[in-house]
Amino acid sequence: MSSEDRFHPLRQEDAVLLAASWRQLAGEDCDSRAVGDELLGRWSEDHRRYHTLSHLWSTLRAVDVLQDEARDVDAVRYAVWFHDAVHEGNPGHDEDQSEALAHRLLALLGKDPVLISEVVRLVGVTRDHRPEPGDANGAVLSDADLSTLAGAPEKYLAYTSAVRAEYWRYPDRVFRAGRLRVLRSLLESPHLFHTEFGRTHWEPRARSNMLAEVDRLSRELAEEPVPSRRPWGGAAPPPADG
């Protein structure tokens, strides 16, 4: 049985394509294949609904579209593989663990320390998708990860439903308030996207989708009775994930 055969049939095509993409990036030796298998296993965990093999594949394809705007496109591709490799629905902690995993596994593969440092840094950029000016690699990674925001309305709705399912632990009111806060913060920025292609081709549709979601969430919050005490023990709400 090949390493890809363990996946659900609906994920089979993504797994096969991703395994080939990883080998092209990282090499064909046994260690590289083992790391690729571990990453594919993480991205196919049962609790995931949005941060799945399909998201990984679509983000890598978006990097292909933007590759001419990157300084080191291979570093960006490695960062895509690792940026949500740990995803337990714990904002901040997930990113910390994904950075640590990238450092450990890339070191195991004997990659150049400069590359490892850059990949770890890029994984950190996905915390808020706000790379510094002049950060070409960060701009490409951030835009590729957020490219789903520019999908057709029905795809955007499927994306928001999948994200909500991943944060099932949060009561509706807590989730809506947290997501509204992050959506509004992103929309207040002069640009959602940081590459020329992203601003030209993805920004208008993404803003339209996000504004529609803000309107829907605002109405749902207004219609929902306010609880007598703060739900969920006052825990911080989840972010809007890209």
Query: What's the pLDDT tens digit per position in 55-99?
Result: 999 999 999 999 999 999 999 999 999 999 999 988 889 999 999
Query: What's the pLDDT tens digit per position in 137-188?
Result: 999 999 999 999 999 999 999 999 999 999 888 999 999 999 999 999 999 9
SS (H, E, C) 150-215: HCCHHHHHHHHHHHHHHCCCCCHHHHHHHHHHHHHHHHHCCCCCCCHHHHHHHHHHHHHHHHHHHH
d(C-alpha 29, C-alpha 9), whole Å: 27
Query: What's the pLDDT tens digit per position in 108-130?
Result: 999 999 999 999 999 999 999 99
For residue 92, the model assigns a pLDDT of 86
Say whether pLDDT at 17 is over 90.
yes
Q: pTM for the full model? A: 0.89
Residue from 62, 42, 216 nearest 140 by CA:
62
Neighbours of 135 (CB within 10 A): 17
Instruction: Give the percent of the chain with pLDDT over 70.
Output: 88
